A and B are shown apart, each in its own frame.
Chain A
Amino acid sequence: MSAPVGEMLSEKDKIFYFSLLPPALTTLGLLALIVSTIGAKAALVLPQALTILAANVWDPENERYGLLAPVLGTLVVASIAGAVSLALGLPLTLAVAELLRGRLGSVLQTLLEMASAFPTVVIGLWSARYLAPFLSENVMKPLYSSFGFIPTFSCRPLGGYSLLTAGLAIGFSVVPYTASIMIESYRLIPSTYREACYGIGATRYETARILVSLARPAIAGSVLLGVARAMGETTIAAMTVGNAMNISACLFEPSYTVPALIAAQFGNANLYRYAEPVLYLAALVVLALALALSAVGFKLVSGWRVRIVG
């Protein structure tokens, strides 16, 4: 049971406790301030929000705006990134938490934690210079010639700056983040489950399968958190997505994401009447989507942790 703070704490504790409040509240206050500022700045175009979100044009000189391409692009890129973080993160989790439980595992985990601090601009540079042409030649072209009837592969790849390249590159940058949540969750599974598996004669592979299916909500949650993070990724997107107001079902075509649009257009947005409010509206949309996904992802992970630990 939690008693009121004041009754349990000594005088010194109280001072300590209250001295923590201002910085803690400052952070929250700043976040609230950011959201309200963005909202206020976007207010000018909020009445036309739906029209703007449904149109596809970026023509500030004639004050014509539409965010459909970047919003769709953000969703596609973030989904690809989520798929990458699942496809790479899950094996990584099993490798670190299941197979290599000794020294090697902890070395791998340290490396993983270091990788999450990797500057995105480095990943962006590498992706723009090497990954994009490589994917174009070795992945997109074969996919196009063999599976061109599927809409997502239905266009001949040009350079390599595309939704796919941006999605994969951002996916790589998100893997350490999602994987570390997965590993943490996986390790929380009480040993009784493992022992029970071995008890009924399950092999190590079968045990891992059972434990993974047990951890499914946590895995889904961490992927959602990764997708939310991928939505906001700016540098890598701006360098690889192609920055074109283009809507296409084909993943090999250049397109835009909202953060890339903001990065490209914000500098001189003050020259035009509505460019800045529209960019704030775009920011608001991505913020809302990312917050919603984070909330769901966080709920999945933390809810599962409470249940599994009991």
Chain B
Amino acid sequence: MRTIGSKRIRLLLLAAIAAALATAGAVVWWQQQQKVDISNVVMNAGGATFPLPQVIAWVEQFRKERGTVINYKGMGSGAGQAQFFDGTLDFACSDPPLKTSDWEKYRGKVLQIPWLMGAVVITYNIPEIGNHSLRLTPEVIARIYKGEIAYWDDPSIKSLNPEIADKLPHKEIIAVYRSDSSGTTEVFTTFLNKAAPDVWPKQLVGKVVDWPVAKLGRAVGGQGNPGVMQAVRANPYSIGYVEWNYAIEQKTPMAAIRNAAGKFVLPSNEGIAAAAASAKLPSSPLDNFDGVTAAVVYTPGENAYPISSFTFIILWSSYEDKLKAIALSEFLTWVANEGYRNVVPGYAAPPENVKQLLLEAARILKGG
């Protein structure tokens, strides 16, 4: 038989349990908000291979200092974006920002920051001149990849390089390009289109393009930076484009390229910083960054390296796992304050306004 007493006890018991749960929840919440112990957080990230060495260096240093483990897998920008949106990755890195259509779809939920800079360099294999730095204009490069300039002793190349003009051989130029779909190709072709629009039309801009010179039998494609480098090495009289960091590692010759101010510049940290200084960027990580790739190539700065590029980190503005959001917020803050002090050769820290974007994203992640 039930009595009034036992009913009351049950009620009391329920209330006690509810109170205990609420307290426990509050304590957990308070802990997460106040005491940021992020040493047990493990995150999966991946995407572009271009920033891989730098991301690995940062992630390793951050793990040593804070304990958070971030597993970054280089899989390409496209795969990174796809796996980020299907939930496999906690954050992604991508050379191009989100397309406007994708950004619209996730508007307000997704953060993008162009957190690292690099450059694409033009390399070549001309045994007669060895490591000598060639001077090239955007038009000449575009006409080589179009197949219009076929020989190294073409007057347009000779006149740019008078001191070695007699050494340039009458040999056919082999144009090397990336056979895989790549952000590097997008930066390179965006540059050609912006700097030499009469030679290089808009249709020839993208991660994969239908290379006119390939149809003439004077071009070969290589897989990734290593594939392009290998093809340039194996084929005397070839020309190719690779990431700057990769070219440094391989000690390959690099061309000085004429920038919008008319000056021939080699890739350098200062050159990249100068390129970024005159690039217009959105003011919030929640904004649309589509088109930023074009904004940073062939910029007017006097010392700007004309094929500079951004690479992006893409994250959610909030995470179900509060601890993850806090860890990411801490990571972004750490990169802005500490990470940029140790930049791997071949990369450049972005300008101050990007640092502010990182800190803004960190604030949004903390929910404040």
A61 at interface, CB cutoff 8 A = yes
* Complex: A62 Cα to B81 Cα, angstroms: 20
A132-B207 in contact (CB<8A)? no
User: Which of A61, A133, A254 has the most chain B CB atoms inside 10 A of its CB?
Assistant: A61
B209 at interface, CB cutoff 8 A = yes
A159-B231 in contact (CB<8A)? yes
A128 at interface, CB cutoff 8 A = yes
Chain A interface residue count, Cβ-Cβ cutoff 8 angstroms: 37
B220-A243 in contact (CB<8A)? yes
Q: Which residues of A contact B217 (CB under 8 A)?
A: 155, 158, 244, 246, 248, 250, 253-254
A156-B78 in contact (CB<8A)? no
Q: Which of A129, A244, A260 contacts B219 (CB 8 A)?
A: A244
Q: Which residues of B contact A107 (CB under 8 A)?
A: none
State how many angstroms separate the Cβ of B82 from the closest Cβ of chain A: 6
B79-A267 in contact (CB<8A)? yes
A159-B180 in contact (CB<8A)? no
State how many angstroms separate the Cβ of A38 from the closest Cβ of chain B: 20
A245-B210 in contact (CB<8A)? yes
A196 at interface, CB cutoff 8 A = no
* Complex: A268 Cα to B218 Cα, angstroms: 25
Mask: chain B, 75-99; 1 = CB below 8 Å from A; 0 = not: 1111101100000000000000000
* Complex: A243 Cα to B182 Cα, angstroms: 15
From residue 188 to 217 of chain B, which have CB atoms closer than 8 A to chain A?
Answer: 203, 205-211, 214-217
Q: Which residues of A contact B210 (CB under 8 A)?
A: 57-59, 64, 245
State how many angstroms separate the Cβ of B341 from the closest Cβ of chain A: 33
Contact (A265, B235) CB under 8 Å given A245-B214, A246-B217, A253-B217: no
A242-B221 in contact (CB<8A)? yes
B174-A61 in contact (CB<8A)? no
A132-B78 in contact (CB<8A)? no
* Complex: A248 Cα to B234 Cα, angstroms: 22
A264-B174 in contact (CB<8A)? no
A265-B223 in contact (CB<8A)? no
**Residues of chain B having any CB pair with chain A under 8 Å:** 75-79, 81-82, 172, 174, 179-182, 203, 205-211, 214-223, 230-231, 234-238
Q: Which 7 A-B pairs have the closest CB atoms?
A: A159-B235, A243-B221, A61-B206, A268-B181, A268-B78, A253-B217, A243-B179
